Structure 1
Amino acid sequence: MNTASKDHHSTRASALAQDLRALLSKLKRRLREQGGMGDLTPSQVSVLLRLETDGPATAASLARAEGMRPQSMGSVITALEAAGLVSGAPDPNDGRQTLLSLTDACRTWAQEKRAAKQDWLTRTIEARLSLQEQDELAASVELLKRLVGD
């Protein structure tokens, strides 16, 4: 491959990367709108996702994992507790610590939000894309999985 060809491929890849980032950001916003995350901040959403994925955790371990100061994490947790999304219980290994976990109400709420996002995306794909375009989209999803290593 000559230099001009390499430059063209590099320029094309850069343009694709820019378009893809912009498009995925827009899709993420649309899905967030459909899920109705309400008044939650990005930090609060991140903490909820971490608790859902990793299980119960202390405020200190959440602060470390999120790269936040413990004081900042305290305000995040206070807001989540006030909303009924997380609750604390004494750590069985260290009674001085509190383990935070998602409430049942939070789990139900999260499932409902995910279902709303899935429903919107399914309806949008069906309404806006022909069967051939849906096949093309499926092929594109496979390429995207390769990009992220899945």
Structure 2
Amino acid sequence: MKAKSVNSEDTEVSSLTAELHIVIGALSRRLREEADTGDLTRAQKSVLLRLERDGPTTGSALARAEAMRPQSMGAIIAVLEAAGYVAGAPDPSDGRQTIISLTDHFRTWISAARTARRDWLLRTLQARLTAQEQHQLADAVDLLKRLLDS
């Protein structure tokens, strides 16, 4: 059997893959720094984003959606409630259940964090890239979108 030789195109694509991974990771970290999301864990952020996307729901439904034990979800909800990010209210159709929803305080906080990230990125693009480079970046964004659609 012949060993497959690696050609220069494969090497370039492999290098591009590694570099793209590093750059996207660094950009994500930098954007997170700009938003100051505090000390939220990944699980807490995931629950908040799910509530934002899907709307109010019960703790047990959240636990199922996040693939975790109800007890673990209860601990997450308690922390988020203490921070003022979520609130519970009795389920009108089943008083034994509690509906968890985002608070106005959280919605204001997340909006400000997103605005901070967008503002930093806008200022940075304008300060560091020429108009032509901004157009090249727009083309690259289209290519990245195609990667996500695959």
- Where do 4+ consecutive residues of structure 1 move more than 6 Å? none
1:138 aligns with 2:138: yes
Task: Note the C-alpha offset of 1:10.
Answer: 3.7
**Offset at residue 54 of structure 1 (A):** 0.4
Report Cα offsets for 1:95-114 as digits up to 9, x if no partner.
21111000011101110000
Aligned to 1:103: 103
Cα-to-partner distance string for 1:37-59 (whole Å, 9 max, x where unaligned): 01111111111000000001111
Q: Count matched residues.
A: 147
SS, match of residue 29 in structure 2: helix
- 1:1-35, CA deviations, whole angstroms, 9 ceiling, x for partnerless residues? xx76x854444333322222221111111111000
**Are 1:119 and 2:84 matched, yes or no?**
no
Task: Give 1:50's aligned residue.
Answer: 50
Equivalent in the alignment of 1:70: 70
Question: Offset at 1:125?
Answer: 0.6
Quote the offset at 1:92 in angstroms.
Answer: 2.1
In structure 2, runs of 5+ residues without a counterpart are none
Letter in 2 for 1:71: Q
Residue 70 of structure 1 and its aligned partner are, at CA, apart by 1.4
Secondary structure, counterpart of 2:56 in structure 1: coil
1:13-24 aligned at under 5 Å gives the runs 13-24=13-24
Measure the CA separation in 1 of the matches of 2:18 and 2:56. 37
> Residues of 2 paired with 1:10 and 1:88: CA distance?
54
Note the aligned Cα RMSD (angstroms): 1.7
1:139 and 1:22 mapped to 2: Cα distance? 20
Residues 131 and 61 (structure 1 numbering): CA distance in 2 closer, same or farther, change over 3 Å? same
SS of the residue 1:38 aligns to:
coil
* Aligned mates of 2:95, 2:137 — CA distance in 1: 52
What is aligned with 1:36?
Answer: 36
For 1:93 and 1:15, locate their aligned partners in 2 and report how far apart those are by CA, in whole Å: 56
**Which amino acid in the other structure matches residue 116 of structure 2?**
A
